[in-house]
Amino acid sequence: MNDPDAYVEDRSPGIGRLRPRAAFASDLPSIALDGDWRFRLASGLDDLTGDFAAPEFDDAGWDLLAVPSCWQMTGLPGEPRYGTPAYTNILYPFPVDPPRVPRQNPTGEYRREFEVPDGFPAADAVLRFEGVDSAFAVWLNGIRLGDAKGSRLTTEFDVRPALRPGRNVLAVRVHQWSSGSYLEDQDMWWLSGIFRSVSVAARGVEDFFVHAAYDHTTGRGSLAVDVTAATRVSLSVPELGITGADPAGPHVIDGVEPWSDENPRLYAAELVSEAGERIPLRIGFRTVTVVDGVLTVNGRPISLRGVNRHEWHPLTGRTLTEDTMLADVLLMKQHNINAVRTSHYPPDHRFLDLCDEHGLWVFCEGDLETHGFEPGGWRRNPSDDPAWREAYLDRAARLVERDKNHPSVIVWSLGNEAGRGENLAAAAALIRQRDDSRLIHYEGDWASCSYVDLYSRMYMGVDELAAVGRGQEAPTADPADDAHRRSLPFVLCEYGHAMGNGPGGLSEYQQVIETYPRLAGGFIWEWIDHGIARTTERGDSFYAYGGDFGEEIHDGNFVADGLLFPDRTPSPGLVEFKKVIEPLRIHIDSAAQQIAVHNLHHVRASAYLGFRWSVEDGGEPVGSGDLTVPAVAPGATTAVAWPADLAAALDSARKNGSGQEVWLTVTAVLAGDESWAAAGHEIAWGQGLVVPAGSPIPFTPAPATAHDGYLALGPARFDSRTGALVRLGDLELDGPRLDVWRAPIDNDLLNAFGEPQIPAWLAAGLHRMRHEVLGVEPDASGLTVTARLAAAGSSSGLDVVYRWTAFDGPVADRARIRLETTVTPDGAWSVPLPRLGVTMSLPGTDAEVEWFGPGPGEAYRDSRTAARVGRYRSSVSAMQTPYLRPQENGNRHQVRHARITAPGGTLLITGDPVIDLTVRPWSTEALTTATHQHDLVPGGRLHLHLDQAHHGLGSAACGPGPSAASVLAAVPTVFGVEFSTGW
């Protein structure tokens, strides 16, 4: 090779590499090379250190950099020390001219000295890199071992020509951009470096492939292990009575317990070579098949309640510790998630070990995406260019070979958003030839499904999803392809885009998925927000997103679309998803005095759960107890009568209750410890209204009277000119007045498949509506204020009548006033409203809030399944949801009544019968203009929003908008709310 740097732009996956093999542990010695390496960041290919690989090169003046790490993340949360992260979703951050990349190509030069102890089997050693982004070349003791691409794939080199006892010097040159970058456009931060572990390991057994099938008709397991080794190898599985046997078998075992997400049964095994090497195995028996268009494992249909998971940490990027991986797996299991798609590359192999252990179905995805070719009409897309064939086949082979022994992996996914082409078909054929025990997935082939085993789509609407479930989808062009596709299970490989406040409508999707057996479920996009931890000059902490590092092109906060916030705190979206996909449905039938339990598990009976009931009157507990539920078989339903103590508690509540709503809640919790959660962890719950609220007490309206500069109505004082409520008792107030605007959520601002909602709202002037008071009229029974809400330049508006009444009764009642708001649209209203309600403010920067209604977290009309009725307490500050880009948040849905205790006094609010409640320490205007959480500073007043309704959340940032039932149309509306200073 005349140009020593030609490998950077060569389409070849690399030279000098060993054939890929499985990831496995061995008792042979190894030398871990993680730790501090000497490091220099060159600006490009014209700034390289010519002799840096020489063992005698003096690197004392170079920096120290941790390996593994992403070099752009070094220095955080302060200023990045080496370059900066950059985020794009689709576009390449360099000119699209494959396979060429810029000559100004940041290049990390790494050096590491290490000692090889006496007796180390250097003659059988390999150098292993678990992950290097993007292309790299390797020298050991000045001898060039080779080069490689495929950032998230394992690469091994033969070090026998160079490794020696004592001091050794390893030199690695890593390039940020390479021809491989064209295959790695995976909607994430562009980061570089040796970001996974490095080691020198002795190799005895070269490779093995565990084949462990399960026959559900006989209960037998079939086990065979294909071993590649220079010496004889024996297999032992003590629990199955296999000792020192020929691994190839096949061994047929009666009464095997199969592996599944619900029962991740692993059998401890061991391979032992004649040379003395011992390799521990964990074997799971399972068989994946498609039966009559239904995805089955071990003969049972399965439903994927999944998430797409990028590897991410806000301080270290794609470099994760095993503790972080475990945290992800445990959080998934604790939130009823049973499947993960490793978007869009193979994860650290230790993550798959955890999936095996704790039970997650895995779609293991190849390190492939070429989405940046789409804006150019897919011109020169590598997927259909024969010159890239070797790279595609190499990536497919390395995917399968490394992870082939994981029972959790049930599907190989070729990659993501790489268009179409013969290279993808060739990769599928290679995988199928090597491993026909799993299915093959690739969403980009949905039009024909000619080389895949699953019909897969992204962000399909609910109506179309139902049509697919019925087998009534639009036909393909080719009748043969059409027949083949209709025979396949359907998977939503991405749906429920979890960007900002949302996703909405998850319960609608789940209802359809559970209706049609062909629908195998899907994967929420995605697991975690990719925010990067930063601090401002004044020390404020925040999470950065695209554009915060001065990128030339970027896609803003589109990188923050996860169910977890960057610190792995569950978002309201994850709490909602847990409830929507709970594996049991608990239904309370008050008329029949029964509790029905429907088990949605595919293999696990409900015996592992304990059930408990509780009764609350107005949110206050009046009774609780254990509920005996016979074990419910998978797919079955059992109904149990109310136990005597429950019936007694309800009877007491009816006779002696407060007159408020009485609710019965039944929970299902772990009866014992599981590997992923302790006993008592809640799995599912159901709730039913068993005693409705009593009728309101009638009252005689009090008169409104005029005074010098104000109007008096009971304990309330109003501005005589504007009609605004300025005082209630001793509490100073401002408002309420009609409000239709909300700080736009990401699903309002963006739409991947159509026109976003926000342009129509802005064109209608909904963000700049003027509140014009037309009349303030006191009378003998109250106060009437008429007004009009309209935008400058618009002939359409909202006519509003505020009718105030006060209680004319005992002293305790005189503290209560009632507002009835009547809204009448005037003119043409072709756009929905963001919200419809009234807003007001009172002094303070924080307050205690107590409410009776759904909670404890935020909820909206199409994201409220997880909110259960009860009495809750919080502070205003704690009620704010810290979405990375500030937006509408914190709404409490259908509140019956609430108490706000602020420094200036206490305000009580009662819905008629319910009202949505939001309390904030900043205005909607401040929330709208803020770009990060640290931009939000309390302004000295608490802002209350009392809404009759909100426009739905939907998933329009990358998916459908709100369903028709969740669209807030401008129609005549009347809603009421009461205010008081005493409960």
End-to-end CA distance of the chain: give it in Å, rounded.
85
269 bridge partner residues: 281
Q: Distance between CA atoms of 197 and 699, rounded to whole angstroms?
A: 74
| The two three-digit tokens of residue 25, written as one number | 């542990």
Residue 323 Cα to chain centre, angstroms: 19
Residue 494 known to be catalytic: yes
Integer angstrom CA distances of residue 424 from 150, 185, 381? 16, 16, 12
What is the rounded CA–CA span in Å between residue 513 and residue 973?
35
Q: What is the dihedral of CA 494, 559, 383, 406, to 10 degrees?
A: -60
User: CB–CB of 689/663 below 8 Å?
Assistant: yes
For residue 483, with 0-12 CB atoms within 10 Å meaning exposed, 13-18 middle and 19 or more buried, which class applies? exposed
Candidates 330, 753, 323, 876; CA nearest to 564 is 330
Type and span of the H or E element at 719: strand 716-719
Three-point CA angle 752, 755, 757, nearest 5°:
105
CB atoms within 10 A of CB 95: 9
Instruction: Provide the greatest CA pair distance for the chain.
Output: 104
Q: What is the C-alpha to C-alpha distance for residues 36 and 687, in angstroms, rounded to an integer? A: 55
Report the alpha-carbon angle 637-638-643, nearest 5.
150
C-alpha pair distances (Å), 518 with each of 294, 466, 521: 5, 10, 9
Strand partners, 138: 146, 172
Residue 82 DSSP code: S
- Polymer length of the chain: 983
Sheet of 143-148: strand order equals 14-15, 143-148, 135-140, 166-175, 107-116, 35-42, 63-67
Pick from 402, 400, 27: which is nearest to 204 by CA? 27
Contacts of 125 (CB under 8 A, 6+ apart): 159, 160, 163, 200, 201, 202, 203
Rounded distance, CA 237 to CA 280, Å? Answer: 10
Give phi and psi for 123, each to the nearest 5: -70, -15
CA–CA separation, 917 and 942 (whole Å): 13
- The full 3-state SS of 483-513, as one line of letters, equals HHHHCCCEEEEEECCCCCCCCCCHHHHHHHH
Cα–Cα separations (whole angstroms), residue 506 to 583, 599, 646: 15, 20, 33
Q: How far apart are CA 17 and CA 233, in angstroms?
A: 25
Measured N-to-C along each axis, helices 422-434 and 389-403 cross at an angle, to the nearest 10 degrees, of: 30
Side-chain half-sphere exposure of 339, counting CA atoms within 13 A = 23
List residues bridging with 802 in a β-sheet.
Answer: 785, 821
Which of 250, 238, 241, 244 lies closest to 211 in space, CA to CA? Answer: 250
Query: For residue 6, what is the DSSP state?
Result: G
Residue 298 CB contacts under 8 Å (≥ 6 apart), including other chains: 214, 216, 258, 260, 286, 287, 603
Let me know if 526 is a catalytic residue.
Answer: no
Q: For residues 965 and 953, is the Cβ–Cβ distance under 8 A?
A: no
Catalytic residue among 401, 417, 443, 508: 417
Say which of 9, 130, 369, 494 is annotated catalytic: 494
**Annotated catalytic sites, by residue?**
417, 494
